Structure 1
Amino acid sequence: MSSREKMKAAAEQVVGRTMKKTAHVMGNKTKQAKGAALEARGKARRLKEKGKDKFKR
């Protein structure tokens, strides 16, 4: 997993989690869903890169 992709995945997870929690406090369901989607996209990116690493070995 390249360090650039690893950082991108981690950033998406952190931003998504922060957005989700902030929206929950404010009561904004739309932003909360968008934050959850961003967090899920970061997790999926991380898993994709880990899978690519396994095949390289």
Structure 2
Amino acid sequence: MGIADKAKNAAEDLVGKAKEVVGDATDNDSLKAEGKADQTKSDVKSAGENVKDAFKK
């Protein structure tokens, strides 16, 4: 995984956090849940990248 993939994951995490905040502020539970899901997906991808990086060493 390269720097571009790590940047995409970071961006996805930030978008997820923003969705969660907006959903919370507007009492939109669907948007809030979508934001949390985006963050979780980003975390899973990052963990996978960390495992791959560990095997490269």
- Class of the TM-score when normalised by the shorter of the 2 chains: over 0.9
Identity score, percent: 30
* Runs of 4 or more consecutive aligned structure 1 residues displaced over 3 Å after TM superposition: none
Q: TM-score, normalised by structure 1?
A: 0.94
How far residue 23 of structure 1 moved from its aligned partner, in angstroms, is 0.6
Unaligned runs of 5+ in 2: none
Give matches, 1:1-57, under 5 Å.
1-57=1-57
Count residues in correspondence. 57
Relative CO higher for 1 or 2, CA cutoff 8 Å, sep ≥ 6? 1
Gaps of 5+ in 1: none
